[in-house]
C-alpha cells in the first residue's frame, strides 16, 4: 500500500492540487520559513512546523501527529493531536484542505485527467484504464453505476478514445416497446434510424436494465444476428458502430431475479466496467466541480470557498452523486456576492444539525455495544469517519464493530438519508 496526501485546497497556489507521497520515514509540513519543515506552504495560519505524517510499519494506515501547532490540525472537522488515518481521511491544517488516499497498486498508469474523467484519484485512474481497454476493442461495452455517477461521461470517454469518426448517439430504452426499439435503431425506409446515423461512431443504449421484457429478445437478436435490413444503403455494416450500454448498479440483482435476460447481458460481458460513486472519488471532488460547472474566468471553485466549506463538501456522503453535487454547486453560485463562501452558504441539508465537537476524545479501549453504534450513526448521519474520530480509532476498526453488530451498507444508507432514528 502506498499512501498519498492530495492537497485539494490551499492559499498557496503551488500547493493546490499537489500530491505528496507519505514514506515510511514520514514527512513534516509547515509554514514557509528559513528553518521550517521540509515541505513548506505559503500560509500564514500554519505554524513553522505544523504536522507530521508517518506511514505505519505494516502500511495499514498513516499516523498523524500535530506538532503543537498554534491553530491545530483538523481531521473530519475535529481538532486532533494524534490520529491513525485510513483511506479517505479529510484533513484541514491552516487554510489548506487535503485527503489521504491509499493505493494498493496499478493506479499509476492513466494518471493524466481528461475532460470526461477528470481527477487524480485511484478510482479515476483505474476507470480511465478500463475505458481505454474497452475503446481498443470492437465488442459491446456495459457501464454499471449508481444514479448520477457519470456513466454518460464514461461513455463519451470510450467514444473519444476509440478514435471513431462518427458521432455518439443515444437511445433511451426505458419504456421502449419492441416495435419502437426496432424502428429507433434500424429505422424505416423513410427514416434510416440511429444505426445509420451513428455509422462509424458509437450507439449508447441508456437504461439496459429498464428495457421492457418483450423488447429484450429483439435487442438480443440485433446483437447476435448482425443482420443488415434491406432498406439500409448498400454496404452499410451495423458493426461499424460500437455498442455501449449503461445500467444501474442493480443490474446483477435484476438478472438473478429474472427481470433481465442473462443471455442479453452476456453480450456485454467482455467489457463490463463499474463507474465509481462520488464518495469513492473524494480526491477529485473540486476537480469535478471545475469540470461540470466551470466558473466565469476559469477560476477554480476553491478560490470562492473558505477551507471549512471545502471540508464540509468532502465530508458529505453524496448519495445522489454528481447530480446532487451539481445542485449544490448551483446553489453556491447563487449565494456568491464577492466574498468567499462559508459553511452557512451551503444548503441546509449539508450543514449537520449537530456540529461535531472541536477536539477528538482519547481512543476507547473496548468495543461499543450495538445500541451505542446505532445512536452515534443517527447523530453523525451515517458518517463512519465521524464515528472513527469519536472513538479515536481507525475507520476499519469501526467497520469491524459495525459488522459484528449487524449494521450493513443498507442500514448506513438509511442513516445518511435521515430515515432512521
Same domain, 144 and 198: yes
Task: Going residue by residue through the chain, which has 421 residues, state the pLDDT in tens, using 9 for 90 and above.
Answer: 889 999 999 999 999 999 999 988 899 999 987 555 578 999 999 999 999 999 999 888 999 999 999 999 999 888 999 999 999 999 999 999 999 999 887 666 888 999 999 999 999 999 999 999 999 887 899 999 999 999 999 999 999 999 988 899 999 998 888 788 888 887 777 788 888 888 889 999 999 999 988 889 988 888 876 544 444 444 445 457 889 999 998 899 999 999 999 999 999 888 999 999 999 999 999 999 999 999 878 899 999 999 999 999 999 889 899 999 999 999 999 999 889 999 999 997 666 544 545 555 556 667 888 888 988 888 887 888 778 877 877 777 888 898 888 898 888 878 877 765 4
**What does the DSSP assignment read for 298-338?**
G--GGGTB-HHHHHHHHT---TTHHHHHHHHHHHHHHH-SS
Same domain, 155 and 255: yes
Q: Which of 252, 274, 296 is the last residue of a domain?
A: 274
Same domain, 126 and 88: no
pLDDT digits (tens, 9 = 90+) for 391-412: 877 777 888 898 888 898 888 8
Length of the chain: 421
| CA separation for the pair 145, 12 (Å, rounded) | 36
Residue with cell 424502428: 183
Residue 236: its pLDDT value, please? Answer: 47
Same domain, 137 and 238: yes
Residue 379: its pLDDT value, please? Answer: 80
- Fill in the DSSP letter of residue 345: G
Residue 35 lies in a domain: yes
The per-residue b/e assignment along 126-152, b for 16 or more CB within 10 angstroms, e otherwise, is: bbbbbbeebbeeeebbbbbbbebbbbb
**What does the DSSP assignment read for 249-298?**
TTHHHHHHTTSS-HHHHHTTTTEEEEPPPGGGGGGGHHHHHHHHSPPGGG
What is the domain range of residue 232? 122-274
Same domain, 160 and 91: no
The total domain count for the chain is 3
Residue 154 lies in a domain: yes
Same domain, 160 and 258: yes
Residue 227: its pLDDT value, please? Answer: 45
Same domain, 39 and 144: no
Same domain, 89 and 129: no
Residue 235: its pLDDT value, please? Answer: 46
Residue 126 lies in a domain: yes
Same domain, 246 and 212: yes
Residue 290 lies in a domain: no
Q: What is the CATH number of the domain that holds 233?
A: 3.40.50.300
Q: Which of 274, 293, 309 is the last residue of a domain?
A: 274
Same domain, 200 and 259: yes
Residue 80 lies in a domain: yes
- The answer to whether residues 29 and 93 touch, using CB atoms and an 8 Å cutoff, is yes
Q: Which of 103, 136, 159 is the last residue of a domain?
A: 103
- The answer to whether residues 266 and 257 touch, using CB atoms and an 8 Å cutoff, is no
Same domain, 10 and 72: yes
Question: H/E element holding 183?
Answer: helix 178-186
| CA separation for the pair 138, 159 (Å, rounded) | 11
Amino acid at each position: 500500500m502506498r499512501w498519498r496526501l492530495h492537497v485539494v485546497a490551499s492559499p498557496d497556489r503551488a500547493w493546490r492540487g499537489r500530491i505528496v507521497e507519505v514514506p515510511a520515514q514520514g514527512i513534516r509540513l509547515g509554514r514557509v520559513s528559513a528553518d521550517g519543515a521540509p515541505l513548506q506552504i505559503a500560509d500564514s495560519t500554519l505554524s513553522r512546523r505544523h504536522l507530521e505524517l508517518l506511514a505505519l510499519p505494516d502500511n495499514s494506515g498513516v499516523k498523524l501527529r500535530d506538532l503543537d501547532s498554534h491553530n491545530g490540525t483538523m481531521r473530519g472537522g475535529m481538532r486532533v493531536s494524534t490520529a491513525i488515518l485510513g483511506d479517505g481521511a479529510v484533513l484541514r491544517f491552516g487554510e489548506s484542505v487535503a485527503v489521504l488516499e491509499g493505493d494498493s497498486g496499478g493506479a499509476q498508469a492513466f494518471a493524466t485527467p481528461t475532460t470526461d474523467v477528470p481527477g487524480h484519484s485511484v478510482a479515476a485512474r483505474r476507470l480511465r484504464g478500463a475505458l481505454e481497454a474497452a475503446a481498443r476493442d470492437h465488442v459491446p461495452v456495459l457501464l454499471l453505476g449508481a444514479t448520477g455517477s457519470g456513466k454518460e461521461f464514461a461513455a463519451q470517454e470510450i467514444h473519444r478514445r476509440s478514435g471513431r469518426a462518427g458521432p455518439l448517439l443515444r437511445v433511451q430504452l426505458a419504456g421502449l416497446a419492441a416495435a419502437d426499439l426496432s424502428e429507433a435503431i434500424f429505422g424505416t425506409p423513410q427514416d434510416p434510424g440511429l444505426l445509420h446515423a451513428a455509422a462509424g461512431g458509437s450507439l449508447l443504449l441508456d437504461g439496459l436494465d429498464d428495457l421492457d421484457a418483450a423488447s429484450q429478445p429483439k435487442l438480443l437478436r440485433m446483437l447476435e444476428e448482425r443482420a443488415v435490413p434491406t432498406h439500409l444503403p448498400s454496404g452499410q455494416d451495423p458493426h461499424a458502430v460500437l455498442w455501449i450500454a449503461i445500467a444501474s448498479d442493480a443490474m446483477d440483482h435484476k438478472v438473478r431475479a429474472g427481470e433481465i435476460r442473462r443471455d442479453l447481458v452476456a453480450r456485454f460481458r467482455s467489457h463490463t466496467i463499474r463507474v465509481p460513486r462520488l464518495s469513492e472519488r473524494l480526491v477529485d471532488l473540486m476537480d469535478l466541480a471545475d469540470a461540470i460547472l466551470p466558473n466565469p474566468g476559469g477560476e477554480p471553485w476553491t478560490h470562492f470557498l473558505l477551507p471549512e466549506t471545502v471540508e464540509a463538501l468532502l465530508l458529505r456522503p453524496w448519495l445522489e452523486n454528481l447530480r446532487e453535487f451539481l445542485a449544490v454547486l448551483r446553489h453556491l453560485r447563487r449565494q456568491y456576492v464577492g466574498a468567499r463562501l462559508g459553511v452557512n452558504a451551503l444548503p441546509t441539508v449539508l450543514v449537520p444539525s449537530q456540529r461535531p465537537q472541536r477536539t477528538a476524545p482519547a481512543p476507547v479501549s473496548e468495543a461499543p455495544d450495538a445500541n451505542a453504534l446505532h445512536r452515534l450513526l443517527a447523530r453523525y448521519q451515517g458518517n463512519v469517519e465521524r464515528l472513527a474520530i469519536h472513538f479515536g480509532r481507525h475507520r476499519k476498526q469501526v467497520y469491524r464493530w459495525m459488522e459484528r453488530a449487524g449494521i450493513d451498507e443498507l442500514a448506513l444508507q438509511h442513516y445518511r438519508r435521515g430515515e432512521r432514528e
